[in-house]
Structure 1
Amino acid sequence: MNSLSSWLLLVIFLGCAAAIWIAGIKLSDTTDVLSERLNLGSALGGVILLAIATNLPEIAITASAALAHQPDVAVGNILGGIAIQTVVLVVLDAAGVRPRKPLTYLAASLTLLLEGALVVALLLVVVMSTQLPSSLIALRLTPGAVLIAVLWGVGLLLLRRAGRGLPWHEGGDAPDNQDKPQGHSKTTKEKQATSKGISTGRAGIFFSIAAAGILVAGVLIERSGEELFGRLGMSGVLFGATVLAAATALPELSTGLTSTRLGDYQLAISDIFGGNAFLPVLFLLATILSGQAVLPLAHRTDIYLTALGALLTVVYMIGLVFRPQRQYARMGADSITVLVLYVLGITGLAFIVG
């Protein structure tokens, strides 16, 4: 990439971003169709399939960095993506909610609170694992990476149990929230696919093509972007936490906009929290592929971004409890708070790396 001109790098970067957006929409639609056709909608398989599908760019970048023995790049990609993916909820709140009420007011449920708590718990384990010695590794496994994967699996089991009902009034759903149950948009997409004559096999082919496109685009956008923005004077940490993280969050944005357009506000938040909970699991992949203890190599900027991601998640958890009804600039108070904290957080990050 270093032999290419800046203009060509820009074209590659923007082209890959467009490819991720377009393929992300197709991937989201086919994922929902397959989960409904294969009866995965309410099972762990559907949650895992969606988490993998929406995080394919991060998976591609993490695997590429680990195989190239650049574990610090893998760590920055994973942790930098969590904060920006949480900010996606700000965009959904401002652009995707009808009627005009804050997203957290319409989506409030105890299950979403549990999903947010899982994200925070996993990020706390990440911080703890960064303090372990790098020599603590056996069979390409480290305690921190394994514990994160196990905690994620246990969390999914608890969330699936919560999805079947909680011993609270209204089963854990707040009054006056969305009319239809969470996940109804998936059924709508499946019915639309059926009416168009799209078979399960054809949906699987579309899924595979879109997934392959996102994987390739994910690697290319990281390499072209790092070279391009490096020439413009942006540090690798700032690039990874802002520009690259925003580009790789495009599948989550397209998925969320589709869900909110169909009135499935709970699913929109659930997809973001679910994707953020899945990202730390990629440390296990990075450790296995690189053969190194990845988390102990985290820089202070990585730990800083981990704390920022947890802080933004907690703000939305508070919003789900207090359910603000007033809007300012088409956003709820929680979304405005998240946006301000993210800007301040990235400003602080610039001082750290500067």
Structure 2
Amino acid sequence: MFHSLPLFALLLIFAVAAVAVWVAGIQLSNTTDVLSSRFKLGQALGGLILLAVATNLPEIAITFSAALSHNLGIAIGNILGGIGIQTVVLVLLDIFGLWRQDALSYTAASLELVLEGILVIAVLIVSIMGTQMPGSLIFAHVAPGALLIAILWVIGIWLLGKARTDLPWQEKGQAPDTLHKKRGEKTQGTTQKWGNARVIIVFAVAAVVTLVAGVILEESGDAIATHIGLSGVLFGSTVLAAATSLPELSTGLASVKAGAYNLAFSDIFGGNAFLPVLFLVATLLSGQAILPQAKNTDIYLAGLGILLTTVYLYGLIFRPKKQILHMGIDSLVVLVLYILGIAGLFAIATLS
């Protein structure tokens, strides 16, 4: 439907969908913060479970569609291709969320976030290992690599739940000077006063808007790429990845402005850890082993995601307070590595 429209109409549809995602993302952030507090999940675990899944609804819908139509290349690229750009969202939150205040990894210091980052690396490593397995190794629509990723994610959620109360560290894994950060007045003055039913309804409506508008973003973006002649791999890793990261950017900025720094970080790490779990869903729906069909560009992007996550893990542990160009040192390193990584991706896609 979108491919038959003129470029101007596609750009207009893309812009409207982006605005819808942005507004919905603000509500997702505010309501997740409230739900995490009232149900005693904590910002890190709330971001990992509630916000990360909600902001990745467009990716879930596209994976379902691609698996059912046996367009498995789109499913793989959609899952692995977006992890790098979603990590770069943290750079934007560092620059535009905090501006000239402390670096984001300094304010969001928490060992729970370090555990989430380790979970991201673990599921990505298993994803890369799964690409080397034979495609014939599948039983009852379940491939071992995809199953192991899902098991790792569930164990990671359980361990994070235990970490909220059982970490044998001083200050329960929290840096002492970040324990009593005040939440922003916006969240306190509005969403915090709502009843549980209203908060849940607003969260659900915002999630549906994110899903519908996110799918429209990707479909219209694909049509725009066709109009301007951008190849599938390059489009998926740049324009499409940026479009599907709008929910994370919107919710992240709202979280930072509300002082919920852990929630902003956890949304990104949580989403990146959750996306590879969709390989199991895609395998069940398609009846084929998904990971062995990954291309070299997919494996490359998974490695890039591991590299960027590792940099932020160092940042969360060492907590550099110094800023360069209005961002933390770790964010600057991530930005440089991502630019170099995309340059390498262009070389792989065009020269190999």
Normalising by structure 2, we get a TM-score of 0.91
2:243 corresponds to which residue? 247
Return the alpha-carbon distance in structure 2 between the equivalents of residues 328 and 56 of structure 1.
Answer: 34
**Which string of whole-angstrom CA distances, capped at 9 and with x for unpartnered residues, describes residues 242-265 of structure 1?**
111111112211222122212232
- For 1:187 and 1:128, the matched residues in 2 are separated by 46
Match of 1:75 in 2: 76
Deviation at 1:180, TM superposition (A): 2.2
The secondary structure found in structure 1 opposite 2:102 is coil
State the match for 1:283 in structure 2.
279
Structure 1, unpaired ranges of 5+: none
Note if contact 2:93-2:256 (Cα within 8 Å) is conserved in structure 1.
Answer: yes
Summarize the alignment of residues 253-272 of structure 1 with structure 2, pairs less than 5 Å apart: 253-272=249-268
Q: 5 Å matches for 1:136-175?
A: 136-175=137-176
Task: Please say which of residues 94-103 and 239-248 is displaced more in the overlay.
Answer: 94-103
Matches within 5 A, 1:107-256: 107-176=108-177, 178-180=178-180, 185=183, 189=187, 192-193=190-191, 195=193, 198-256=194-252
Q: How does 1:41-120 map to 2 (within 5 A)?
A: 41=42, 47-97=48-98, 100-120=101-121
Identical aligned residues as a percent = 58
Compute the RMSD of aligned alpha carbons. 2.4
Output one character per residue of 1:216-249: Cα deviation in whole Å (capped at 9) or x when no partner.
Answer: 2222222221121122121111111111111111
- Could you say what secondary structure the match of 1:292 adopts? coil
Cα deviation, residue 273, structure 1: 1.0
Shift in Å at residue 171 of structure 1? 2.5
Instruction: Quote the residue 2:304 is aligned against.
Output: 308
Secondary structure (helix, strand or coil) at the match of 2:142 reads coil
The match for 1:292 is 288
Residues 181-207 of structure 1, C-alpha deviation per residue, up to 9 Å, x if partnerless? Answer: 7xx759984773353xx4433333333
SS at match of 1:164: helix
Of residues 259-268 and 245-254 in structure 1, the stretch that sits farther from structure 2 once superposed is 259-268
Is the deviation greater in 143-152 or in 35-44?
35-44
8 Å Cα contact 2:52/2:268 also seen in 1: no
Aligned length: 349
Instruction: Assess if the C-alpha contact under 8 Å between 2:21 and 2:210 holds in 1.
Output: yes
Please give the alpha-carbon distance, in whole angstroms, between the structure 2 residues aligned to 1:332 and 1:44. Answer: 24
Question: Using the alignment, how far apart are the partners of 2:345 and 2:83 within structure 1?
Answer: 15
Looking at structure 1, the residues matched to 13 and 307 of structure 2 have their Cα atoms a distance apart, in angstroms, of 34
The answer to whether the 8 A contact 1:40-1:46 is kept is no
Distance 1:36 1:103, change over 3 A: closer
Equivalents in 1 of 2:43, 2:252: separation in Å?
Answer: 18
C-alpha distance in structure 2 between counterparts of 1:97 and 1:43, whole Å: 19
